[in-house]
Amino acid sequence: MQIMINVPDNLPMTRATQRIKELEQSLREEASFLSGVLAKKSKQDRQAALLKIAHDCAALPTLDERSPDEILGYSDSPEGLWGQE
């Protein structure tokens, strides 16, 4: 899986690199946790584990306040497409 991360120009590269490494480690730990837990659990237990992850994700801070349309570039076009083609 590939993830694209937009880094602000004023963020020091060392901090960006450190944060990316932290995120990669967190994702590895989560994947390891899920593979172990979900393999052993019943359907209800798997649903509960996924619900916990969803709640954890919902509690994360919002780093970009723009709407999804603004992020994807839809807001720049009256046709709802990227760009002004």
Gap between the Cα atoms of 45 and 39, Å rounded? 10
Mean pLDDT of the chain: 78
**Is the model's pTM score more than 0.75?**
no
- Which pLDDT does position 55 carry in this prediction? 93
Q: Rounded mean pLDDT of 68-79?
A: 72
Q: What is the pLDDT of residues 20-58, one digit of tens each?
A: 888 888 888 888 888 877 676 677 887 888 999 999 988
Domain residue extents for the chain: 13-76
